[in-house]
Amino acid sequence: MIRGGWRGSTRLQTLPRNWRAIRQQVLARAGYQCQHVRYDTGKRCTSRANQCDHIGERNNHALDNLQALCEYHHLRKSSSQGGRANARNHVADPVKHAGLL
């Protein structure tokens, strides 16, 4: 579990407190279907959406900047966007903070 008190530039920390509600709204708006449009067929992905993705600015949580994606398409997008950031997150070392408690 994530503990409070550590600071860094992880994606989770940029999410608003009502993120769950926003996410739920985005998924419902999409009918719980992935909004990714396949380049080859021009048709929408038929997988069930369970991820909420930022289309543009990651700090813009407006509904029109959010889309529902299936896990596959969200992972594909995330890996091209923030592969390095994920690697950096693993550096967070709880032992370092033990002395502060």
Closer by beta carbon to Zn ion, 19 or else 72: 72
CA gap 79, 101 in Å, rounded: 35
37 alpha carbon, distance to own chain's centre: 18
User: Minimum distance from CB of 45 to Zn ion (Å)?
Assistant: 3
User: Minimum distance from CB of 56 to Zn ion (Å)?
Assistant: 19
* Closest CA relative to residue 49, chosen from 26, 65, 22, 16: 26
Closer by beta carbon to Zn ion, 66 or else 70: 70
Which run of H or of E encompasses 25?
helix 19-29
CB atoms within 10 A of CB 40: 5
Closer by beta carbon to Zn ion, 34 or else 66: 34
Closer by beta carbon to Zn ion, 36 or else 54: 36
User: Minimum distance from CB of 75 to Zn ion (Å)?
Assistant: 10
Contact 45, 37 (CB under 8 A): yes
Give the interface with Zn ion as residue ranges (CB under 5 A).
Answer: 34, 36, 45, 47, 70, 73
User: Minimum distance from CB of 61 to Zn ion (Å)?
Assistant: 21
